[in-house]
């Protein structure tokens, strides 16, 4: 999820390496359990070699929708679009400190043309929070289908993010089941910052996506229905996570 603190950390790390891209860290899975990357062969860690805070330079997640296209959150790469070669995409690691898996470069970045940012209680709120990374080569991996959270009671989230607001050390892939919340519940909490036209809402105040999970999937019936986008903190009672709907693809 995006916040000024998390965005500042990424900017500082990259600026220190004289890179003009500033990927914004997002939300890890709070309340989840370790997961095997083989369960999600289409799930990728999005990062940069100069983001030294994290193994593999990871700061976001993404999902493979074509052999050479990865879908992620727009706020993760809204500035990196100017230097796509600074990004890497890593598949197949249950723990980011491992040497295995498959790493691919990025040729181009296309952010949703209506992407913009507002704020909610000092949290950055990305609207139309989607981007497509074109990889510099095709990968021989399964792709994932896109779907919708409409009518679903629960979904599954997965990512390498932190397990709480105070945890910066988790590097293991985790997943968790989360209840999907209706529009009324999310609007009651977030007001006009929550736009049901391009957002979805999930979480119960205990299980949530967290820092460095942005761009990762909310799965419903085996399909990616939305991507981790923003929220107030991680797993705070009364504040579910907000996801960007993949139906909003331009």
Q: 75 near 36, Cβ under 8 Å?
A: no
Pick the catalytic residue from 22, 27, 127, 129: 129
Is 214 one of the annotated active-site residues of the chain? yes
Cβ atoms of residues 44 and 91 within 8 Å: yes
User: Considering 27, 75, 112, 127, which one is annotated as catalytic?
Assistant: 75
Q: Is position 128 annotated as part of the catalytic site?
A: no
Q: Note if 27 is an active site residue.
A: no
| Per annotation, catalytic residue among 78, 214, 229, 245 | 214
Cα angle for residues 175, 180, 183 (degrees, 5° grid): 145
Phi, psi of 13 (to 5 degrees): -65, -45
The residues annotated as belonging to the active site are 75, 129, 214
């Amino acid at each position: 999820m995006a916040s000024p603190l998390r965005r500042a950390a990424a900017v500082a790390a990259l600026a220190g390496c004289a890179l003009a891209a500033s990927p914004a860290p997002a939300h890890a899975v709070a309340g989840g359990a370790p997961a095997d990357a083989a369960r999600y062969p289409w799930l990728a860690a999005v990062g940069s070699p100069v983001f030294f805070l994290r193994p593999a330079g990871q700061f976001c997640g993404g999902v493979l929708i074509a052999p050479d296209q990865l879908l992620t959150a727009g706020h993760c790469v809204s500035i990196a679009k100017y230097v796509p070669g600074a990004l890497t995409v890593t598949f197949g690691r249950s723990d980011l400190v491992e040497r295995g898996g498959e790493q691919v470069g990025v040729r181009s970045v296309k952010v949703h043309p209506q992407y913009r940012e507002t704020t909610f209680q000092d949290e950055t709120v990305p609207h139309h929070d989607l981007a497509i990374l074109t990889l510099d080569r095709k990968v021989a991996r399964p792709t994932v289908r896109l779907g919708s959270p409409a009518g679903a009671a629960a979904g599954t989230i997965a990512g390498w993010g932190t397990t709480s607001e105070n945890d910066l050390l988790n590097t293991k892939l985790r997943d968790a089941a989360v209840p999907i919340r209706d529009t009324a519940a999310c609007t009651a909490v977030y007001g006009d910052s929550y736009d049901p036209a391009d957002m979805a809402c999930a979480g119960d105040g205990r299980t949530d996506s967290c820092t460095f999970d942005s761009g990762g999937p909310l799965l419903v019936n085996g399909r990616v229905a939305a991507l981790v986008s923003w929220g107030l903190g991680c797993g705070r009672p009364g504040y579910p996570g907000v996801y960007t709907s993949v139906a909003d693809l331009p």
